[in-house]
Amino acid sequence: MLPVQDASLSRILKSMMLFMFSISLLFLLTPLSWTQQHDMPGMKMDVPAAVEEPAQAAQRLADKQESEFNHHLAGLFVICAGIFILAESHLARRWPLVRFAWPMCFLAAGLFVLVFSDTEIWPFGPQTPWYAITHNAEDLQHKIFSVILLALGYVELC
């Protein structure tokens, strides 16, 4: 009776992996969200926008592309970790070291987010880490999530 259960478990595992893969493709292939214009209290919407110089527009575009790349790469690490978590019981029979794959994905994502998420912070930019996390909520959020990823990866490896 054990081989029948193993076959059904394998079928369930394959269908779960196919489902996760299709959901991942759905999110990867959907267009980016469009901004919506809302009337905020105290904001005057009839004021014409300031004309942006070409150098400023190029810098803003470069920052946006860098941010999108960072989010996509960190998300790819997390998706890979999820696939390894789902497939660990099946793959660990053949390759025992696969149990270290998803914690390594978390560690890689955590290190990447810690170092490369905010390039205005040292070692790439002029700001100190303390100044950045005390004056910018987004930088603080990136550092908190990187510490969470690093802690989860470390705990599972040890």
pLDDT tens readout for residues 119-156 = 888 777 788 888 878 888 888 888 899 999 999 999 98
Q: Does a structural domain hold residue 74?
A: yes
Q: Does a structural domain hold residue 17?
A: no
DSSP letter at 121 equals B
Query: 42: left (phi > 0), else alpha (psi -120 to 50), else beta?
Result: left
- The parent domain of residue 81 ranges over 66-158
The pTM score is 0.63
User: How many separate domains does the chain show?
Assistant: 1
Q: Does a structural domain hold residue 31?
A: no
Q: Does a structural domain hold residue 119?
A: yes
Q: Does a structural domain hold residue 73?
A: yes
Q: Are 120 and 126 in contact (CB under 8 A)?
A: yes
In whole angstroms, what is the distance from residue 59 CA to residue 22 CA?
Answer: 35
The pLDDT tens digits for 71-121 are: 899 999 999 999 999 988 888 888 888 889 999 999 999 999 988 888 888
Q: Does a structural domain hold residue 20?
A: no
